[in-house]
A and B are shown apart, each in its own frame.
Chain A
Amino acid sequence: MSRAPLPYSPKILDLFRNPKNLGRMEDADAWAVAGNPACGDMITFYLKVSENEVIERASFESYGCAANIATSSILTEMVKGKTLKEAWEISWKQVSEEVGGLPSVKFHCGVLAVGAMRRAIREYYKRKGKTPDWLPKDITFEERQALEEEELAKRLAKRIGGSSVA
Chain B
Amino acid sequence: MGDVEELIKAHGELKREVYLDFENSSPVPGEILEVMLPYFNRVAYGNPTLTHKPGWEAYEAISKSAEKIASFIGSKEPEEINFTPGETEANNLALIGAALRRKEKGRKILVSEVEPLSILHVCRMLENYGFTTVNVPVDEEGFINLERLKELADREVILASFMAVNNEIGTIEPLREAVEIVKDKSPEAIFHTDASDAYGRVRFDVGRLDVDLATISSYKILGPRGIGALYVKGGVSLEKILEGQFGTQKLWPGVENTPLIVGFAAASEKAFSNFDGNVAHMARLRDKLISGILNGLDGTILNGPLGDRRAPDNVNVSFLKCEGESLTVELSLRGVYVSSGSACTRRILQPSHVLLAIGRRFEEAHGSILMKVTRYHTDEDIEYVLQSIREAVSRLRMIYGSMGG
Interface residues in chain A, defined as those with a beta carbon under 8 Å from any beta carbon in chain B:
1-4, 7-14, 16-17, 19, 22-24, 31-33, 37-42, 44, 61-66, 68-69, 100-103, 105, 149, 152-153, 156-157, 160, 163, 165-166
Contacts and interface: CB of A to CB of B under 8 A. Distances in A.
B7 A38 contact: no
29 contacts: A1-B121, A1-B346, A1-B347, A4-B345, A7-B4, A9-B6, A9-B7, A10-B2, A10-B10, A11-B2, A13-B329, A16-B330, A17-B333, A23-B401, A37-B363, A38-B363, A39-B343, A40-B349, A40-B351, A44-B401, A44-B403, A63-B323, A63-B400, A63-B403, A69-B399, A100-B2, A160-B356, A160-B359, A165-B135
Task: Give the 4 A-B CB pairs with smallest separation, nearest first.
Answer: A9-B2, A166-B353, A10-B10, A61-B401
Contacts of B361: 38, 157, 160
Nearest to A37: B363
B75 interface: no
Contact of B326 (A4, A65, A153): A65
Given A12-B2, A40-B343, A62 B400 contact: yes
B326 A69 contact: yes
B360 to A, nearest CB: 8
Nearest to A22: B399
A59 to B, nearest CB: 9
A156 B398 CA distance: 27
B117 A1 contact: yes
B363 A61 contact: no
A166 B117 contact: yes
Nearest to B352: A166
Nearest to B349: A39
B350 interface: yes
Contacts of B245: none
A7 B1 contact: yes
Interface residues of B, number: 49
A7 B137 contact: no
B225 interface: no
Q: What's the dominant secondary structure at chain A's contact region? A: mixed
A102 B403 contact: no
A7 B366 contact: no
B80 interface: no
Given A10-B10, A65-B344, A101-B1, 11 more contacts: A1-B121, A1-B348, A4-B345, A8-B7, A10-B6, A11-B2, A40-B349, A65-B345, A69-B399, A156-B362, A165-B120
A2 B362 contact: no
Contacts of B1: 7, 9, 100-103
A42 B366 CA distance: 12
A19 B345 contact: no
A17 B399 CA distance: 11
A163 B403 contact: no
A61 B326 contact: no
A44 B404 contact: yes
Given A16-B326, A17-B333, A24 B401 contact: yes
Interface string B109-124: 0000100010011000
Contacts of A3: 345-347
Contacts of B348: 1, 166
A102 B2 CA distance: 8
B325 interface: yes
Nearest to A101: B1
Nearest to A28: B404
B16 interface: no
Interface string B33-49: 00000000000000000
Nearest to A10: B10
A33 B404 contact: yes
Contacts of B105: none
Contact of A4 (B333, B347, B403): B347
A4 B343 CA distance: 10
A83 B7 CA distance: 34
B298 to A, nearest CB: 16
B404 A31 contact: yes
B11 interface: yes
A152 B350 CA distance: 10
Nearest to B350: A166
Nearest to B360: A160
B171 interface: no
Contacts of B366: 37, 40
Contacts of A149: 349
A38 B350 CA distance: 9
Contacts of B196: none
B342 interface: yes
B321 interface: yes
Contacts of A64: 323, 325-326, 344
A13 B9 CA distance: 11
B51 interface: no
B274 interface: no
Contacts of B398: 22-23
A153 B350 CA distance: 9
